């Protein structure tokens, strides 16, 4: 497209008289172009130009001579075939145009707006289209010169609508981001018009007072050493409330900072037997009996998880196994008579006496005592009759 612009500029310069003594109006900072009557003669390779700009006093105009290269460079004053349509629609300032006939720069920047849809009478749009395809590519320039021919009467570059209100800042502490948006609808682009340039979303920070920081536990340390070298012991580990530490009245960490567990080591001491005690009394004096002895697993006692003593703690053995001598049994003396169960005279009762076959006790093969071990007889039987007869005699 840049090549087409250069070719179009060259053609326009060839169509007009291009003598080295081109005359142009020359004034700076004027408000009314009709007041400028200064004429200047341009040098070789120069054209007339007209520029509208804004300063503190309002819109002013500059007219004079400018190098040809400035007329075809869109980045400088302007080109022969264009101004910004947005500028044309919104303001009459910031317009720059060139021409190449004597005193032609008093009526520049006053073309019809595209909305009038009138082709530039100084340009043969059909010829420009056949030579340079003016209707294609740079639609903005085409809409300025040949809007009707190029069917660009509705050409509109997009323009941003106003920003929306900022989104609400809902936080009570800390910081967050607020957002606002805008749409490319003032106007929306139409008929090959350019879309709006720039972001449709804008962000800003909403900062409140710093929030409280609640404490968080760090990782547990490794387990410490056991508290003993054998048996059962304890070991512990720690953690700290530093991930993060509490700040600005935040809560401290909940829970314990110490953790314990048991550690079971090898037994410190195995148990050992004491010496056997002396044998106890024999259960029989002859013909075989039993006696026993004992020992304790306390020499030393087994520590926690140490081994207990192996073997029994009680030993039983035979004793007095010699045969007892053969002895026949003999009675003991009779016991005293038991109390008579009846206390009424001459009614009668029975009382008893006892003896045992243990004087001596018969041996295993000795004879048992002959006779009975219990003797009974009547008691309180005759005394009442004797008392009655005695009473009669006394009468």
Encode pLDDT of 76-93 as tens digits: 444 444 444 444 444 446
Burial class (CB within 10 angstroms; exposed 0-12, middle 13-18, buried 19+) of 155: buried
Helix residue ranges, H only, 103-190: 125-132, 139-145
Which one is predicted more confidently, 145 or 20? 145
Beta carbons within 8 Å of 333's beta carbon, 6+ residues apart: 355
The answer to whether 48 and 97 are in contact (CB under 8 A) is no
- Same domain as 174, residue 97: no
Flag whether 203 is in a domain. Answer: yes
- Same domain as 319, residue 369: no
Beta carbons within 8 Å of 339's beta carbon, 6+ residues apart: 351
Flag whether 132 is in a domain. Answer: no
Flag whether 373 is in a domain. Answer: yes
- Same domain as 278, residue 256: no
CATH code, domain carrying 309: 2.20.100.10
| pLDDT higher than 70, residue 302 | yes
Tens-digit pLDDT profile for residues 17-65: 444 689 999 999 998 888 999 999 999 888 999 988 888 878 889 999 9
- Same domain as 276, residue 256: no
pLDDT given for residue 116 in this prediction? 67
Tens-digit pLDDT profile for residues 179-207: 999 999 999 998 888 899 999 999 999 99
pLDDT given for residue 5 in this prediction? 45
What is the rounded distance in angstroms from the CA atom of residue 242 to the CA atom of residue 317?
73
Mean pLDDT of the chain, nearest integer: 81
pLDDT given for residue 113 in this prediction? 55
Q: Which domain holds residue 220?
A: 213-266
pLDDT given for residue 20 in this prediction? 61
- Same domain as 361, residue 274: no
Q: What is the domain count for the chain?
A: 5
Flag whether 131 is in a domain. Answer: no
Flag whether 122 is in a domain. Answer: no
Half-sphere exposure at residue 29, Cβ-oriented, CA atoms within 13 angstroms: 3
Q: Mean pLDDT across the stretch 85-102?
A: 64
Angle at 179 between CA 178 and CA 180, to 5 degrees: 140
Flag whether 363 is in a domain. Answer: yes
| pLDDT higher than 70, residue 317 | yes
Given 324, 344, 363, the domain boundary residue is 324
Flag whether 25 is in a domain. Answer: yes
- Same domain as 45, residue 15: yes
pTM score, whole prediction: 0.37
């Amino acid at each position: 497209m840049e090549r087409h612009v250069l070719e179009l500029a060259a053609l326009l310069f060839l169509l007009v008289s291009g003598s080295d003594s081109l005359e142009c109006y020359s004034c700076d900072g004027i408000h009314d172009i009709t007041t400028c009557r200064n004429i200047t003669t341009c040098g070789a390779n120069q054209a007339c130009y007209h520029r509208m700009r804004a300063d503190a006093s309002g819109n002013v105009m500059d007219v004079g001579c400018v190098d040809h290269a400035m007329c075809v460079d869109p980045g400088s004053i302007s080109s022969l075939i264009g101004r910004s349509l947005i500028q044309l629609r919104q303001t009459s300032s910031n317009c720059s145009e060139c021409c190449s006939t004597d005193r032609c720069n008093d009526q520049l920047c006053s073309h019809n707006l595209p909305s009038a849809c009138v082709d530039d009478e100084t340009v043969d749009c059909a010829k420009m289209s056949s030579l340079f395809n003016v209707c294609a590519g740079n639609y903005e320039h085409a809409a300025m010169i040949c809007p009707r021919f190029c069917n660009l009467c509705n050409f509109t570059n997009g323009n941003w609508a106003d920003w929306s209100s900022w989104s609400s800042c809902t936080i009570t502490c800390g910081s967050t981001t607020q957002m606002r948006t805008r749409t490319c609808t003032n106007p929306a682009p139409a008929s090959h018009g350019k879309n709006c340039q720039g972001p449709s979303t804008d962000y800003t920070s909403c900062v409140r007072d710093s929030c409280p920081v609640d404490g968080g536990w760090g990782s547990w340390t490794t387990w410490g050493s056991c508290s003993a070298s054998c048996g059962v012991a304890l070991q512990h580990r720690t953690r700290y409330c530093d991930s993060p530490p509490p700040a600005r009245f935040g809560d401290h960490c909940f829970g314990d900072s110490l953790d314990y567990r048991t550690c079971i080591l090898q037994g410190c001491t195995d148990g050992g037997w004491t010496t056997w005690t002396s044998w106890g009394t024999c259960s029989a004096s002859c013909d075989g009996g039993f006696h026993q002895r004992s020992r304790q697993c306390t020499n030393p006692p087994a520590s926690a998880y140490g081994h207990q003593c192996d073997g029994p703690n009680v030993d039983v053995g035979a004793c007095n196994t010699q045969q007892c001598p053969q002895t026949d049994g003999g009675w003991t003396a009779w016991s005293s008579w038991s109390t008579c169960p009846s206390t009424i005279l001459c009614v009668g009762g029975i009382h008893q006496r006892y003896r045992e076959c243990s004087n001596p006790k018969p041996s295993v093969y000795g004879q048992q005592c002959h006779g009975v071990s219990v003797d009974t007889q009547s008691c309180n039987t005759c005394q009442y009759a004797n008392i009655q007869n005695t009473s009669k005699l006394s009468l």
